[in-house]
């Protein structure tokens, strides 16, 4: 089992940048594929980005491609989401998630979830 804690959210203006962090407990962090999802008010939770166990492969939602970068530091048990050129529509609660297998773009593929961190972008 792994416990996930997100941090780094906040209120910014359109065009600004933020870096989210997700710290994981446990000694097997490197065995988990990690994902970032977000949920805006009144909407379902949606895929943002994912990264494989080694960090060798990443995938992004079309809406964030070219602006967001997911990365991980297995020595620090942490996954990051660098968000640049933020837009009003990026406003949401951002969640990190862990999966022992592939870790795709659907919420049901992930076993463990953090509590979320709020990102608010003003236009």
At 27, the pLDDT band (50, 70, 90 cuts) reads confident
pLDDT of residue 111: 93
| Alpha-carbon distances of 93 from 26, 41, 101, rounded to whole Å | 24, 9, 25
pLDDT at 43: 97
pLDDT per residue over 49-62, tens digit each?
999 999 999 999 99
Tell me the pLDDT of the chain averaged across its residues. Answer: 96
The mean per-residue pLDDT over the stretch 41-53 comes to: 97
Q: Residue written as tokens 């490197």?
A: 30
Burial-class residue 1 by CB neighbours within 10 Å (0-12, 13-18, 19+).
exposed
How far is 58 from 69, CA to CA, in rounded Å?
9
């Amino acid at each position: 089992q792994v416990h996930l804690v997100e941090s780094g959210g906040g209120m910014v203006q359109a065009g600004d940048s933020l870096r989210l962090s997700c710290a994981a407990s446990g000694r097997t962090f490197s065995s988990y594929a990690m994902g970032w999802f977000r949920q805006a008010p009144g909407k379902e939770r949606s895929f943002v980005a994912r990264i494989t166990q080694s960090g060798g492969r990443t995938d992004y939602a079309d809406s964030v491609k070219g602006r967001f970068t997911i990365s991980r530091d297995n020595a620090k048990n942490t996954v990051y989401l660098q968000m640049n050129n933020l837009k009003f529509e990026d406003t949401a609660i951002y969640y990190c998630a862990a999966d022992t297998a592939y870790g795709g773009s659907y919420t049901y593929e992930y076993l463990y979830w953090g509590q979320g961190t709020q990102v608010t972008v003003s236009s």
